[in-house]
Amino acid sequence: MKLNIALLPGDGIGPEVLTQAVKCLEAVEESFNHQFVFKKAPVGAIAIDMTGNPLPDQTLALCKEADAVLFGAIGDPKYDNDPKAKVRPEQGLLKLRKELGLFTNIRPVKVFPTLISKSPLKEDIIAGTDFTIYRELTGGIYFGEKKLNDAGTIASDLCEYSEKEISRIAHLAFKAAKNRNNKLTLVDKANVLESSRLWRKVVSKIGESYPEVALDFLFVDNAAMQIILNPSQFDVILTENMFGDIISDEASVIGGSIGLLASASVGDENALFEPIHGSYPQATGKDIANPVASILSAAMLLEHFQLFEEAMAVREAVDKALKKGVVTPDLNPDSKYGTNHVGDFVADNVVDNHDDLNMNDENIGLGKSTII
Ligand code: IPM
Ligand code: MN
């Protein structure tokens, strides 16, 4: 298969982790005889520095032409605490999502058995966790009208949803539940918000066409609690933009590190793959950022194009790295491995799916020469 992939490294650790994902895709190319053509473009703070625009026209055009976009991370502290900043890196990502029509963000949350002890939560609580969040991505409070009065003393952000915006993602979420364990939980705040009541109405109606899927509802405050108390009760969670943003960060602690969670953002015509973590500026250039979320985002890209065997090769190579302790310091503070080593190890194991018996543990840290 030939795929044109736009690479948007972005800010902070984005370029470092994206490089590891690209290594893995190149390993897939080599092992499975595909052709991936990569083209890179700036987005975020780096794009503001270069052009004044967090999403330059050429970057957007490249993404629109590409079959898929692989995204690093966005954000820079110099903008975070400046309420007066007119241009912000995040605007680049939000505009990209909107322009590409990426209305569904899919965030799988799964406990890796080898990492179960790394989670701050008790093992018996998180064992068996395997759910997917379907987060609406191009509507709601993120994109509603924003107002600030002339005196700068009153501000508002409108949370607006149409039936159409709800139903297109709801269908995808029901289909996902059908392919998984037939359970869908709508997370909302229908006891307070009119927009949530519309979500309930539309999703309930659509649910009639998916009789095999058990649909239930949870207020977002309760959901936040249930995700920590009993995460294995969930199969597919469907929710609006901001609730999804918040509960997916919360859910990331289940697996032990936010550096493990990948995501796919899909629309009718485009698809973008990115880790859920941010740009982690404190770690930039230190070779300590966890590349797993970015690598698993590349696996989701492969799955999007039905390249299931290829995606499995990447996932198995990641599992092997975790099992062998080839991890970054967020997962093991004493680890001697950095971002690059983890990327090399995973890519090497995609090319050659060696069994453990042939692996020289002594040489794991040497990256390319891990295999004897
Ligand atoms: C995410 C991020 C973004 C969001 C930011 C960077 C705009 O937190 O992808 O979850 O809020 O959607
Ligand atoms: Mn977020």
Average pLDDT over residues 235-254: 96
The pLDDT of residue 40 is: 98
pLDDT band at 354 (very low <50, low <70, confident <90, very high): low
287 is catalytic: no
pLDDT band at 340 (very low <50, low <70, confident <90, very high): very high
- From 87, 90, 136, the mutation candidate for ligand 1 (largest count of ligand atoms within 8 A of CB) is 90
The pLDDT of residue 85 is: 85
Give which of 227, 233, 242, 230 is closest to 196, Cα–Cα: 242
Average pLDDT over residues 280-284: 97
| CB of residue 250 inside a 6 A radius of ligand 1 | no
Average pLDDT over residues 123-144: 97
Average pLDDT over residues 126-151: 97
Average pLDDT over residues 136-145: 98
pLDDT band at 175 (very low <50, low <70, confident <90, very high): very high
> What gap in Å lies between CA 253 and CA 123, rounded to an integer?
12
How do residues 177-201 score in pLDDT, each as one tens digit?
999 999 999 999 999 999 999 999 9
Q: What is the pTM of this model?
A: 0.92
Mean pLDDT, the chain, whole residue set: 94
Average pLDDT over residues 62-88: 93
**Ramachandran region of residue 282, left (φ > 0), alpha (ψ -120 to 50) or beta?**
alpha
Q: For residues 295 and 269, is the Cβ–Cβ distance under 8 A?
A: no
Please give the distance of CA 219 from its chain centroid, rounded to a whole number.
23
Question: Tell me, which fold does domain 120-254 have in CATH?
Answer: Isopropylmalate Dehydrogenase (3.40.718)
Residue holding tokens 């009718």? 268
Domain ranges for the chain: 1-103+287-372, 120-254
Please give the distance of CA 370 from its chain centroid, rounded to a whole number.
29
The pLDDT of residue 359 is: 52
Average pLDDT over residues 273-298: 97
Report in angstroms the alpha-carbon separations of 62 from 6, 89, 294: 7, 18, 20
| CB of residue 93 inside a 6 A radius of ligand 1 | yes
Looking at the CA of residue 245, tell me the nearest atom of ligand 1: 10
With a cut of 60, say whether residue 51 has pLDDT above it. Answer: yes
With a cut of 80, say whether residue 368 has pLDDT above it. Answer: no
The pLDDT of residue 371 is: 31
Average pLDDT over residues 136-160: 98
C-alpha gyration radius of the chain: 21
Please give the distance of CA 302 from its chain centroid, rounded to a whole number.
14
pLDDT band at 81 (very low <50, low <70, confident <90, very high): confident
Q: Tell me the percentage of the chain whose pLDDT exceeds 90.
A: 89
Average pLDDT over residues 50-77: 97
The pLDDT of residue 372 is: 28
> Ligand 1 centroid to 358 CA: how many Å?
42
Task: Choose the CATH number for 1-103+287-372 among 3.40.718.10, 3.40.1260.10, 3.40.50.880, 3.30.70.270.
Answer: 3.40.718.10
| Beta-carbon-side half-sphere exposure of residue 153 (alpha carbons within 13 Å) | 1
How do residues 84-125 score in pLDDT, each as one tens digit?
888 999 999 999 999 999 999 999 999 998 889 888 999 999
Beta bridge partners of 236: 132, 184
Q: What angle do CA 1, 275, 230 make, to 5 degrees?
A: 115
How do residues 28-46 score in pLDDT, each as one tens digit?
999 999 999 999 999 999 9
How do residues 200-241 score in pLDDT, each as one tens digit?
999 999 999 999 999 999 999 999 999 999 999 999 999 999
The pLDDT of residue 355 is: 52
> What gap in Å lies between CA 330 and CA 181, rounded to an integer?
31
Sheet holding 2-10, edge to edge: 35-40, 2-10, 68-73, 271-275, 262-266, 104-110, 130-136, 236-239, 183-188, 214-219
Looking at the CA of residue 137, tell me the nearest atom of ligand 1: 12
- From 95, 100, 245, 258, the mutation candidate for ligand 1 (largest count of ligand atoms within 8 A of CB) is 245
With a cut of 70, say whether residue 362 has pLDDT above it. Answer: no
Looking at the CA of residue 74, tell me the nearest atom of ligand 1: 6
> What gap in Å lies between CA 72 and CA 15, rounded to an integer?
6
76 is catalytic: no
| CB of residue 74 inside a 6 A radius of ligand 1 | yes
Q: Which residue has the higher pLDDT, 114 or 66?
A: 66
With a cut of 60, say whether residue 67 has pLDDT above it. Answer: yes
The two structure tokens encoding residue 4:
């044109």
Shared fold status for 1-103+287-372 and 120-254: yes
| CB of residue 215 inside a 6 A radius of ligand 1 | no
> Going along the chain, which residue ranges are E strands?
2-10, 35-40, 68-73, 104-110, 130-136, 146-148, 155-157, 183-188, 214-219, 236-239, 262-266, 271-275
pLDDT band at 257 (very low <50, low <70, confident <90, very high): confident
The pLDDT of residue 208 is: 98
* Cβ < 5 A residues, ion ligand 2: 245
The residues, ordered by sequence, that sit 6+ positions from 69 with a Cβ below 8 Å of its Cβ are 5, 6, 7, 8, 63, 96, 100, 270, 271, 272, 273
| Kind plus residue range of the DSSP H or E element containing 354 | none
The pLDDT of residue 83 is: 76
| CB of residue 90 inside a 6 A radius of ligand 1 | yes
